[in-house]
Structures are given as structure tokens and as C-alpha cells.
A and B are shown apart, each in its own frame.
Chain A
Amino acid sequence: MNAGALAPQAAALLALDPHGLGGVWLRARPGPARERWLAQLNTLLPQPPRRLPAHIDDHRLLGGLDLAATLQRGRPVQQPGLLAESDGGVLCLAMAERMPPALAARLAAVIDTRHVVTPAGAVPARLSFVALDEGVEDDETLPASLADRLAIHLRLDEGTKLAAAPAAAELEAARGRLPAVRVDDELQRHCCEAAAMLGIDSLRAPLLALRLVRASAALAGRTRANRDDMELALHLVLAPRARRLPAPPPAEPPDAPPPEQDAGAEDPGDESTDPDPQQPLDEQVLEAAQSVLPAGLLQLLAGGGPRRAPPSSGRAGSATASRRRGRPIGSERGLPRGGARLDLVATLRAAAPWQPLRRRESTQPRSLHLQRDDLHIRRCRTRRETTTIFAVDASGSAALHRLAEAKGAVELLLADCYVRRDRVALIAFRGAAAELLLPPTRSLPRAKRCLAGLPGGGGTPLAAGIVAAQALALSLQRQGSSPSLVLLTDGRANIARDGQPGREAAHRDALAAARQLRDAGLPALLIDTSPQTQPAAQAVAEAMGARYLALPHADAQQLKRAAAVSLAR
């Protein structure tokens, strides 16, 4: 089944049982395909979905003081908040890939408990969510806590032609049928087995798959679920969550046709609607997985690719591209000037106790008497996190004691970074390629260990090193960290970008890579570790737009100071 056929089914199933399924995670660029799908969903739902912006604040989401009414009446008036207002409906999450983890956690709690905890108490809120994910890169996705609770994960490429969706009248009939649908034990077991085969850890997945199976049976007009429903669940719920491909089943002997086929042809009035009862579950799962997963991913999985874990940064939260700038962390007295925003509730709290007094003393009748001293502004914290990428030339040409000095300097800088709560990453290049030895981390012991184990030897693939550093810097920028680069090398590149030896080509490639780095605007420092200053290293530094530091007899402290100066820009 292709996406064009699956998507309308998904819309219908969601409209049939929105709260049971939790919602849909739709990964699609904005365009005709997505709009068509949303239009299909619109016609099937009793009420059109409301929009929930990704950066909505708690006040509007959960409810709180209705400021206008409060000021008018002089008494606190609560407003219900978007979640409570939308009780029983579907909410569209725009730009879901930028959702802050706090919002995802709140929505996950609402899905779990079906209530919203407001200042006034717990208010019922049965909701379903359509997360519109427009992300392009792998690390721009919906937070996992929310994704786990949305049953359907759907991917729509631009230009997908959608088939027609079931009519709204069919849905009405199906809704009536839904409570009576039965799923037998066999199918329940298959759900769990399929999930296990695909390496899905969360037990929510088979549970949601079962609910989809029921909805699918109801939609098809049956009260017993069968393999067709299971297949749909595989495509929509389980295969998109797969972490590994199941091993293909052993080939069946070709000369033993399954006896059921003849039996099926003999009595067409057979009650069972199973198309191919002998098709083992493994094959079915494999087919479904292969059809849903994009081609590149298959290769990665088949090759035992690494399990991609989001970069861990305990305090900073998950890897969505949420901006850290200006996150409100409290309020203080002050005037809302120069970009500072008024904190209304704190202002009211400060003014509240004085009201009776001011009312008595004032000549004008007003519901709320505010004075200058009452005003509070939001205090925001801008966390500018820096990550320093160390690219170390570990080739044979970097004499042994140079490498040791470079390591020593990096260690000293690590101590600085630890104090400043910055992060450090380590790339080493030697031989034929560059390698990311240490992904960005604040962990001093890990970095030390990594450095200690770095061997020297081989050619100098300078271009590869610069390119690798730039790639890492780019991904860090996307996550809201500001990267800077410290390159320790002697500039004597002798391995070109394609891995072939040759001084000329290598130098040309290195310069080209350096220029790209400069165009990207990355602050950089090049430390020349050769015994005598080389024009090659200077040329690379100039092409990179980097500060050049020639230390023929580098000692760690000097390196550290120089690097600190460069980073302080």
C-alpha cells in the first residue's frame, strides 16, 4: 500500500476514533498534498480542528486570568484556556518540529489523564492532536514523549496523489459499530509480536495498533477484526516506529502449494475473508516495513546502523530546534521599556493589596488602581551556549611531542569549559579521513579519556578535517548552540578530499574547505603546530578567516591563553 492510499484511510480512522488513537504525526512539507489531506480530514470531522501554535504560553494553553474582564470588574475572572475550550475535539499543532519539550510534556499528560489541571481544578479535556511536522533534517522532529502517544505516523511526500476518502455517512455508521468490534487473542498476539520484531520498545505501540485495528474493522463494516485491519495497523502504527527490520523468514519450498487456496476456490461462500491465510506474519511485517520506510533508512537499518539517540544535554532538554533566547524565568519590578515585557499577573499581585486604600483615597472611580511601583516585567534568560570544536591533526607529520602539547592544551581548555558550562567536541583527522571522536559533551572525564586514547600517524587529510568540523558546527547552530572552532595543525596537507595522496590537490582542497568555513561565518582559530612557521598553514588560516597563531615551541599554557582570547570574541 502506498502513501496515496494510506493517507485517506488514516484521516478516516482518526475521524472515527480520535481520542482512542491519540492523533496523527504527519511529516510533510507544506504543499498541495498536505493541504488535500487536511481538507479530507476536515470534511470527516464533526468540527474543524483548532490550531495550537508551537510557542503558545501556559496562560493561553491551560487557562488563567482573563485580564480584560478582570480589569473591568475589579475581581479575578478566569478564562478556560485552549485545551479546556477544545474538549472533545481535534487540535492541529503547527510547526510541531519546533515544539518545546515542556509543551510536549503537557500535551502528553493531557492525553494520558484526559484532564487539564487548571488553577481552578481538574477540567475534563478529551483531545486528539494532529502534529504537522515540517522538519527536513533528521534531528528536527516531534518530541518523543508526544510522538509515542500519537497512534498514526504518516509521511507525505510532495506530489503524492491522494485517493478519495470514505464518505462522512460511512463514518457515522462505523461509529455506532465501534464498541461492538472484537479482536481475537490471535490477532492481539500478532500485534505484540510484530512490534517486538520491529524492535519497538514502548508497549503503547501495540496498544494503539489494537485500537486502530478495531477502528479499521468498524469502518469496513465488520464486527470482527481480521488480517486486513492488521495490515493497516502495520503500515500506519508499527512500521513507522520500527528500529530494525525483522529477519526475512526462511524461504518456503516452492513445490508445496498451500492447500487452503484450493479450498478457497471451491466454496466462495466461505465466511472467512482472509486473503491468504498461510502468509506468515513475518513476511507481512517485512513487506509493510519495507513499503513505509524510505530507501536510505533501509540500508542503514540493514547495515546495522547506529541507533540514533538525541544528543543528551540534561538541563537543556531534547534536541528540537527551540530557541533558548528570552525564556521567561520570573519577574521583577521595573518599567516595560526597551523591549522588556510586562508581567501582568505579577503586576496585579503587587497592586492587589492596596486596592481598598487607594479606592478610598482616589477621586476617580476605577476598578483597578495601578501605580508605577506596581509594574513588574518579565525577566528573561538568554542562554548562549557555546560549543568549542577541537579539530586535531593527529597525522605522522605532527611530531609526537606536538600532539602531546595539543592534547595538554585541549585538557586545560576543557577545565575552562567545565567552569563556564560550555561544551566541547573533538574531531581528529589522520590517515584518509576525519573522525568525530567525541560528540559535544560537558563531561570532563569522557573528554580526557578520549584524548588520552588518540594515536598519531598516517597522512594529513586537512580538507576532510575542516569539512567535518563545519558539518558539526552547522548541526550545533541548528540546535541553538553557538559553535567555535580551534584547529591544531601544521598545514602540510597531503591527502586530498577524495582520499588520494598528493600535496597539490590536498592543499587546494584544504583552501576550498577553509573558504566555505569562512562563508559560514564560523569564528575560528588556527594553531600552527609545525616547528617552523609554514606559509601553507598561514594560507589556510587566511582562507578560513581565522586567527592565526604560530607557536613553534608551543607550550600548553600559551595555547590555552590564545584559544581563550579567540573564543572570547
Chain B
Amino acid sequence: MSGPAFPFSAIVGQDEMKLAILIAAVEPAVGGVLVFGDRGTGKSTAVRALAALLPPMWATEGCSYACDPHDAHDGCERCRTLKVGGQARRRRVPVPVVDLPLGATEDRIVGALDLERALGSGERAFEPGLLARAHRGFLYIDEVNLLEDHLVDLLIDVAASGENVVEREGLSVRHPARFVLVGSGNPEEGELRPQLLDRFGLAVEVRTPAEIATRVEVVKRRDAYERDPAAFVEHWKKEDAKIRRRVVAARERLGAVNVPDAMLERCARLCIALGTDGLRGELTLMRAARALAALDGVDEVSDVHLKRVAPAALRHRLRRDPLDEAGSGERVERALAEAL
């Protein structure tokens, strides 16, 4: 890419979005982040910035999916056989961020027959697509509300199952594909169907800051970054390092964080009050709260954490009542105030 990414800690405001992305990075099971908002509010910047901030990861040498050499159970077929034989070599690679272009065809996303090998030696080999490249990283989709339905279905299925199954052109391939799905869009240009909305774990709204001072700060920082990227990144290195340590520590702590029964009950009560469909809301809320507790460095989930993640986890799952025109974020806040 052209130069270093814009530093995560240099992003002005947009706290809810930044938190949601951090939570999704700590606990991928939360299931992806949907960012709704006006243009020019730094949505893709935040995703790229986070990926650049995370420490480079270990990957198996020569593997097209960048499998984790330390994970005994995970990996593509080739890596698993190599590990058994103790022959896996490793190297460090940056965390991948893959952009899904609008109008991408299915074979570019999923992968297809490797034409070079086929034409040359008649081998039927698999050429990995975007999903393979995004494994263990982020898949960013801009204007997700304009993406074709069948593609969104495909992506969300893969994101949920963690595996990409390819059955086409005589190929039968199965490879791991675990990534954090981040979608962004402008709701004025078209709504996502409710079933698709539900599949995203967290949904946040970003708005252009209203105060002039904040706007000026955003423009100033962006301008400074573009004039001299290296110096700008250097300036913000310390802050970024702090966030990196937080995320790494949170990932390690995650397994040990306790969710008391009282909290589970509160989750359920909140979801009932809001009339969310299905149980995904509660699961997401619980996972997000746990990830937040891990990020904060505590061992137990409490009301504070629930309050902070509930809007993001629930605002897009509310049963649409046409007579109630109140904005969804506010409904969640109201229900929170009553339930807690």
C-alpha cells in the first residue's frame, strides 16, 4: 500500500465505532461490525488503521491462507499434514485487510480454477480468492447495502461458519476463512434486509461531528498525515502501542472473564423489553460485553459494560414497529434505563 496507514489513535472522536472494531478484533465470534453513516466520516480509515496497529502475526511459510503455525487443530489441508510431520516453517506477516470491491464476481471472492496451472500442465488446482486472503484478518465491504444479495448471503455464511467451501468447475476445496467482517454504508441509499442486518454482530452509527473545533482537528490531522506520513505515524506511535497492548492483553484474558448469571438475566430482560427477534441479540450482547470487560482489564462483566455495548449490539435487531418512529438508538437507551 502507499505508505503507512493512518494511525488508529489519531482518529478524532467516533468512539462508538472504534470501540466496536476493537471488540470485534478481540472476540471475532461477535460477528462483524456494520457502520452506518455519512460519507467522509473515516469508516474505512478506522478498519485499515486497526489492522496496521495489530502486531504482525505468525503464518506458515508458503501457505496461501496464512494459516496459524501454532494452532494444532486449525489450518488448511496442506498445513495440517506439514504440522504432523513437524515441517511447518513460519514467518511474520501483517494482519490482512481485504477490500471487497462492489461488483466483485463470485469467483473472485470465493476462488476459482488456477488457469495458469490448468493450461500449462493440465492440473486442476485451486486459485484462492479474496476470502482466502482475508483469513485471520479483516474483510471490509464499502457500500454493503448496494452489494448483491447472493454475495452478502455467501459472505455472512462464511463469516459465521469460518470455512469456505468451494464446489465448482470440478473443484472440491475446503479452507479456513475466519475474518472480521466490516461493512459500511449510507442508509439513505437503500436499506439492508432485516435478515442480513441481523447477521452483523454490532451496528454503529457515525455522524459528521457537529462542533467546528472537532471538524478542524480532523481536517488538520488528515492534512498533516498526507504531507508527511512517516512523521505523523511516528508522532502517534506511543498511543497506538498502548492500544495494541490493550488488545493483545484482552485476547489473552478473554477466556478467563466471567459472566455472572445476574448479567445474563439482565441481557435477557433487555432483549425481551426491546422485542428483539431470535436469540442472537442476547448472544452478541453477552460476547461483546465480555470482550469489553477484557479490554478494560477486569475479570467480570458488570452493568457498566452492558450499558456501553447494548446500543451497538441491539439497535439493528429491533422488531420494526411502523407506528413507532423513534430512532432505534434511542429506543435501546430508553429500554436500558428502564431495565437496569
Contacts and interface: CB of A to CB of B under 8 A. Distances in A.
Interface in B10-62: 38-42, 44
A446 B101 contact: no
A75 B120 CA distance: 6
Given A101-B146, A145-B143, A354-B122, A189 B39 contact: no
Counting contact residues on chain A (CB < 8 A from B), the size range is 35 or more
A42 B64 CA distance: 45
Nearest to B170: A353
A446 B188 contact: no
Interface string A312-350: 111111100000000000100000000000000100111
A203 B101 contact: no
A352 B146 contact: no
9 contacts: A115-B1, A122-B1, A201-B38, A201-B40, A203-B219, A312-B188, A314-B193, A349-B115, A356-B122
Interface of B: 1-2, 38-42, 44, 99, 101-103, 105-106, 108, 112-113, 115-116, 118-124, 142-143, 145-146, 148-149, 169-170, 188-193, 208, 212, 215-216, 218-220, 222-223, 320, 322
Given A188-B216, A203-B42, A315-B149, 4 more contacts: A195-B215, A202-B208, A314-B189, A355-B119
A193 B119 CA distance: 60
B116 A76 contact: yes
Given A117-B101, A192-B215, A76 B115 contact: yes
B142 A109 contact: yes
B147 to A, nearest CB: 9
Nearest to A103: B103
Contacts of B41: 202-203
A101 B146 CA distance: 9
5 cross-chain pairs, A with B, having the tightest CB-CB distances, nearest first:
A102-B103, A314-B190, A352-B118, A202-B40, A105-B102
Contacts of B1: 113, 115, 122
B2 A314 contact: no
B169 A189 contact: no
B39 A204 contact: yes
Interface in A107-143: 108-109, 112-115, 117, 119, 122, 124
A202 B38 contact: yes
Interface in A195-221: 195-196, 201-207, 210
A457 B106 CA distance: 55
Contacts of B99: 109, 113, 117
A315 B216 contact: no
A424 to B, nearest CB: 16
A202 B122 contact: no
A207 B222 contact: yes
A203 B42 CA distance: 9
Given A113-B99, A446-B322, A312 B39 contact: no
B219 A349 contact: no
A41 B219 CA distance: 29
Given A148-B39, A192-B212, A201-B39, A312 B103 contact: no
B119 A207 contact: no
Interface in A39-81: 58, 65, 70, 74-76
Contact of B101 (A105, A191, A368): A105
A423 to B, nearest CB: 13
Contacts of A113: 1-2, 99
A455 B114 CA distance: 64
A297 interface: no
B215 A203 contact: yes
Contacts of A354: 122
A100 B146 CA distance: 12
B274 to A, nearest CB: 19
Contacts of B2: 113-115, 124
A372 interface: no
A352 B122 contact: yes
B39 A145 contact: yes
